[in-house]
């Protein structure tokens, strides 16, 4: 999440909103969010992970990374799922993706 904090000003140029979510309880989520310029939701459940189509790790009782980019109408432009620590969307890649989407919008 630190990368998204570092790229926050670039992402704001696209009016992007970042929302993170965790299986952590409220206290741990508040501690994580303390240094971030965006909210961190807490208490993600397996049922919510299933609704998103995310991979739930039974052994540790947590959701694996699931990243979504939605347009202003709520349409999913990109969905990335991971079943482990590999496959997370990096903030610089999100900026590149939004730059490309903006270019397509301006060309149409």
What is the per-residue pLDDT for 3? 93
What is the per-residue pLDDT for 80? 94
What is the per-residue pLDDT for 1? 83
Single pTM value for the model:
0.83
**Cα 35 from Cα 14, distance rounded (Å):** 22
What is the per-residue pLDDT for 86? 82
- What tens digit of pLDDT does each residue of 75-89 get? 999 999 998 878 789
- What tens digit of pLDDT does each residue of 11-33 get? 999 999 999 999 999 999 999 99
Q: What is the set of domains in the chain, with CATH numbers?
A: 2-107 (3.40.30.10)
C-alpha dihedral over 21, 40, 4, 70, to 10 degrees?
60
């Amino acid at each position: 999440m630190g990368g998204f904090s570092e790229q926050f000003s670039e992402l704001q140029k696209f009016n992007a909103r970042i929302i993170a979510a965790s299986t952590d309880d409220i206290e741990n989520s508040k501690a994580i969010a303390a240094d971030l310029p965006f909210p961190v939701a807490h208490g993600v459940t397996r049922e919510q992970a299933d609704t998103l189509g995310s991979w739930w790790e039974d052994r540790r009782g947590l959701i694996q990374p699931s990243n979504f980019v939605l347009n202003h109408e709520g349409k999913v432009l990109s969905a990335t799922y991971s079943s482990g620590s590999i496959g997370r969307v990096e903030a610089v890649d999100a900026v590149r993706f939004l730059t490309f989407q903006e270019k397509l919008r301006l060309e149409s």
